[in-house]
Structure 1
Amino acid sequence: MLNHLNKIETHGIYQLHDDVLNFFQNCINYNEEFGEVLFSDNLWAVISAAKDLEGYFVTCFNALNENGVDKQIIYDNLLANNRVVEFCRGDVSYEQIDIEIYNDVNSAIITLYGFLWSSTMNNATTKSLYGDIKSHYNDFFDANCVPLNLCPFCGLERYLRPKKMNWRDDYDHYLYQKNYPFLRINFDNLVPMPGFCNGKYVKHVQDMLKVHETNIPRLAYYPYHNVADFTISISCVEMFSENEEWSITLKREGEDFSEEFETWKTVFKIEGRFLNEIEEHYESWIIELYNRNIEDIPDDIASLDLAINGQIADLKKRAVVPGYFLHDKFWQFILISEDIIKEQILFFIDQSKELVA
Structure 2
Amino acid sequence: MLATYPIAATEQNWISATLLGALRISLETLQEGNAPPEFDEALSEEYREDFLRGPKFKKAYDLFIAKCRPLTVDQRAQVLTALNEQNNFPGVFTSTTPCCSIKDAFPDVHSAANELFKHAFEKLSEWKTPGCEQTIRAKYHQLVDAHLSHGSCPFCGYEPLEAADPDLVDPDLDHYLAVSIYPFAGVNLRNLTVMGDKCNRSYKGAQDILLDEHSARVDCFDPYGAEQVKLSLEGTRILSGPGEGPAWVIHFDPDIKSRNWRRVFKLETRLRANVLERHYKKWIEHFVSYAQRHGFDITSTDGAIDAVARFKETCEFDSYPAIGRLKTCFFELVEAALNDPMTVDRMRNFLVESA
TM-score, with length taken from structure 1: 0.81
Paired position in structure 1 for 2:270: 273
Paired position in structure 2 for 1:313: 313
Displacement of 1:19 after TM fit? 0.7
Assess if the C-alpha contact under 8 Å between 2:172 and 2:197 holds in 1: yes
Indicate how the Cα distance of structure 1 residues 205 and 242 shifts in structure 2: closer, same or farther if over 3 A, else same: farther
Task: List gaps (5 residues or longer) in structure 2.
Answer: 338-342
Assess if the C-alpha contact under 8 Å between 2:175 and 2:191 holds in 1: yes
Amino acid in the other structure paired with 2:114:
I
Moved more, 235-244 or 17-26: 235-244
Residues 1-357 of structure 1 aligned to structure 2 (within 5 Å): 1-8=1-8, 11-12=11-12, 14-27=13-26, 28-29=28-29, 31=35, 34-41=38-45, 43-66=47-70, 68-69=72-73, 74-97=79-102, 104-117=108-121, 119-122=122-125, 124=126, 126-127=127-128, 131-142=135-146, 144-146=147-149, 148-163=150-165, 165-200=167-202, 202-212=203-213, 214-227=214-227, 230-234=230-234, 235-236=236-237, 238=239, 242-252=243-253, 258-276=255-273, 277-294=275-292, 296=295, 297-315=297-315, 318=317, 321-322=320-321, 323-337=323-337, 338=343, 339-349=345-355
Amino acid in the other structure paired with 2:94:
R
TM-score, with length taken from structure 2: 0.81
Alignment size in residue pairs = 335
Counterparts of 1:289 and 1:99 in 2: how far apart (Å)?
A: 57
Per-residue deviation, residues 138-179 of structure 1 (Å, max 9, x unmatched): 12222x224x44433232234321137434321111112212
Aligned-residue CA RMSD (Å): 3.1
Displacement of 1:304 after TM fit? 1.9
Moved more, 42-51 or 168-177: 42-51
Indicate how the Cα distance of structure 1 residues 168 and 294 shifts in structure 2: closer, same or farther if over 3 A, else same: same
Counterparts of 1:279 and 1:67 in 2: how far apart (Å)?
A: 57
Counterparts of 1:99 and 1:312 in 2: how far apart (Å)?
A: 54
Displacement of 1:341 after TM fit? 2.8
Paired position in structure 2 for 1:355: none
Counterparts of 1:278 and 1:80 in 2: how far apart (Å)?
A: 40
Counterparts of 1:161 and 1:271 in 2: how far apart (Å)?
A: 27
Indicate how the Cα distance of structure 1 residues 33 and 208 shifts in structure 2: closer, same or farther if over 3 A, else same: closer
Assess if the C-alpha contact under 8 Å between 1:293 and 1:307 holds in 2: yes
What secondary structure, in the 3-state scheme, does the structure 2 residue paired with 1:192 have?
A: strand
Task: List gaps (5 residues or longer) in structure 1.
Answer: 350-357
Amino acid in the other structure paired with 2:307:
A
Indicate how the Cα distance of structure 1 residues 67 and 278 shifts in structure 2: closer, same or farther if over 3 A, else same: closer
Assess if the C-alpha contact under 8 Å between 2:178 and 2:207 holds in 1: yes
Amino acid in the other structure paired with 1:248:
V
Moved more, 60-69 or 88-97: 60-69
Assess if the C-alpha contact under 8 Å between 1:218 and 1:259 holds in 2: no
Counterparts of 2:351 and 2:172 in 1: how far apart (Å)?
A: 42
